[in-house]
Amino acid sequence: MRYEDVEGMKDKTVGDLIDEIAHIEGELERYGKVHLFLYRAIIEQMEEIGATVARSETHVAKLTPKVTYDQSVLAKLREITAPEDLEGIYTPEREVVKVEAERWNMVRGKKLLRLGNEHQSIIADAKIYRNPTLKVSEKGDDNG
């Protein structure tokens, strides 16, 4: 879908669009908070009654606990288990050496522009322009 396909978008000015996006962002933030509170309330109520499944007239909620393991407790298994039984289950502590690709910090690297035209040309050729970001805030904010 393109923005022109949304009813009434084509006729709006940039100012109208800015006001609309600001309104929508406010609503998204509000809905995000409401979602978080509802989610937490459902989990708490289901845990309180010991339920793993709850239903409304139209939806089903399933509560799946996430399990992690205390590594220091599992370490006791090494003492009572044959090494061949631990293959693929246990990996002993080891030092891992890995190769990282080279990286350039071009926030700091912009000072290379002072070194001449060749540096400037290479840096200009390396730029990849991506989708711009847009931040909308109320008038009177430091950014507005």
- pTM of structure: 0.51
Determine, yes or no, domain membership for 106.
Answer: no
Domain-located, residue 120: no
Contacts of 13 (CB under 8 A, 6+ apart): none
The pLDDT mean for the chain works out to 87
* pLDDT tens profile 96-109: 999 999 889 998 99
Q: What is the pLDDT of residues 44-84, one digit of tens each?
A: 999 999 999 999 989 999 988 888 899 999 999 999 999 99
Q: How many structural domains does the chain have? A: 1
Q: Is the pLDDT of residue 10 over 80?
A: no
In a domain, 45, yes or no: yes
The CA-atom distances, in angstroms, between 2 and each of 10, 12, 14, 104 are 10, 14, 16, 36
Does residue 101 fall inside a structural domain?
no
9 pLDDT above the threshold of 80: no
What is the extent of the structural domain holding 48?
Answer: 3-67
Q: Evaluate whether residue 52 is within a structural domain.
A: yes
The predicted structure's pLDDT at residue 89: 92
